[in-house]
Copies of this chain bind each other. A is one copy, B any other.
Amino acid sequence: MVAAGAELADEVGLGALTMGGLAERVGVRTPSLYKHVAGQEDLVRRIAALALSESAVAIGTAIQGLAGRDALAAAAQAFRAYVLAHPGRYAATVGLEPAGQDDPLVAAGVRALAAFRAVLRGYDLPAAEEDHALRTLRSAFHGFATLQAARGFQWSADVDESFGWMVDLLDRGLRRA
């Protein structure tokens, strides 16, 4: 149910994810969906939780055995690959309030952050700066991925190359120049 919604969102875009479309995909009439999800908002939340969980394991496995710059590059690649492969799922994760603390969303979010925290452990950062570094990485990766997914990079230069360049810059920056 949620999995089918996630697939559909990846194919048509989160904005075009419709209850009717999902019903058709799973071979059911639209109102029947409400026996499984509370509504469209609930559906999107669950897709978001799925996306956070999946991306967390993707990044987590990508950085296994790596440290420092290698870990950063691997995490960045894994993150971007996930977002490009699953744009609908990822779009679901942005701009949602975590309702309650038993929300599976926060658990999934924490796991995703943990993967990036692991990357930062390879750099000698003062503890007080770890949160700043985490936010910086998240902003840069999130920004790049969403801009690319939205066709935000229209002009010439190669996008992969730009991404590598950005990762290099972040690595230099994290190593305290």
Are A150 and B98 in touch, CB under 8 angstroms?
no
| Given A139-B143, A150-B94, residue A177 in contact with residue B172 (CB < 8 A) | yes
* Interface membership of A131, Cβ < 8 A: yes
Given that A172-B173, A173-B170, A175-B177 are contacting pairs, would A139 and B131 also be in contact in the complex, using a CB cutoff of 8 Å? no
Name A84-125 residues within 8 Å CB distance of B: 94-98
Chain B residues positioned under 8 Å from A172 (CB to CB): 172-173, 176-177
Chain B nearest CB from A90 CB (Å) reads: 13
Q: What is the interface of chain A, defined by CB distance below 8 A to chain B?
A: 94-98, 129, 131-133, 135-136, 138-144, 146-147, 150-157, 159, 161-162, 165-166, 168-170, 172-177
